[in-house]
Amino acid sequence: MSVGLIGAALALTLAAPARAGETPTAAAGWQVTPTGTDARFRGLAPVDRGTAWAAGSKGTVLRTTDGGRSWRNVSPAGAGDLEFRDVEAFDARRAVVLAIGEGEASRVLRTEDGGATWTESFRNTDARAFYDCMTFFDRRHGLAMSDPVDGKYRILSTRDGGRSWQVLPSAGMPDALPGEAGFAASGQCLVSAGPRDVWLATGGGATARVLHSADRGLTWTATDTPVPAGDPARGVFGLAFRDRTHGIAVGGDYRKDQPSPQAGAVSTDGGRTWRPSATPPPAYRSGVAWLPHSRTAALAVGPTGTDLTTDGGRTWRTVDTGSYDTVDCTSDGSCWASGEKGRIARLATRP
């Protein structure tokens, strides 16, 4: 384990004091946890240091309540043909998952009993729509986004914690670029910060853009980023905002045989402008997360490794070479990552 990743883990320890009876250990870094499945987990929702949810291929949903020492398969019955790409969790009992795909393959399901039972709360009936990502502002208000329909991104809204959904009017949405779409790679193509601000990441068009709404998805503005696009495989794949002004974008070209120059960008004005990272991640990255209670440190992950920034996304260095698709951190001081072949890991310095 590299010194850089150990340093990130130690930063989490400083951010969240040890609980009674706990002592730090030298075994810092990504600690892969046994999941008992080979599903690919692009959806990840840690709640705290003990509880986390993961959603992935073959309709698989897992939940842990003991810090990843064991995972319980809480997949919805009959969901084996669904492709879950995002999950948003409120606590150990309540969570919402998003299945992607054309037409009726795009669905939202919700549980209120820790995954023992699931209720389908939305099924897409428009063959032109393809939902990619989901985010919640709080326990009641959330959004999901679809690739453009009739030339504009489609936004789905809930006001009751995902129990019901409505398509928002498209009048406040700018036109999509030819070939532009979102990437359902990490559950981070739609992210929020605070009670009303939300950002949407794009690729595939002539430029990779970030769209911002300050009114929970009713009106949007679009801004170009320096992350290369111009191809269906290139663009911004993941976003993270630590507040309503400071954001990081990561992406690149997801094809293994293609380089990903300028795979990172930074905004300090709420996404109105984006600057390229002076030293970007060296390869395609699909997920990014700020370390809790840090103004400058963040992690980015992708199939070829994990990168760390300690200056707000301006420079990055690779600190681990394991394969992950997404990463997320909790306010009580833990970070989690997940990806292919059932990999779910926790960044920690404690046993």
pLDDT in tens, 208-267: 999 999 999 999 999 999 999 999 999 999 999 999 999 999 999 999 999 999 999 999
pLDDT in tens, 36-65: 999 999 999 999 999 999 999 999 999 999
Taken in order of first residue, the domains within the chain and their CATH numbers are 3-348 (2.130.10.10)
Enter the DSSP assignment of 36. Answer: S
- pLDDT computed for residue 22 by the predictor: 37
Please state, in angstroms and rounded to a whole number, the distance separating the CA atoms of residues 346 and 163: 30
Look at the alpha carbons of 50, 55, 57, 60 in this order and tell me if their dihedral is positive or negative.
Answer: positive
Whole-model pTM: value is 0.92
Please work out, in degrees rounded to the nearest 5, the angle formed at the alpha carbon of residue 52 by the alpha carbons of 46 and 56.
95
Residue (of 276, 214, 278) closest to 245 by Cα position: 214
Burial group, residue 341, by CB count within 10 angstroms (0-12, 13-18, 19+): exposed
- pLDDT computed for residue 29 by the predictor: 85
Residue (of 29, 53, 42) closest to 82 by Cα position: 42
Provide the β-strand partners of residue 204.
Answer: none
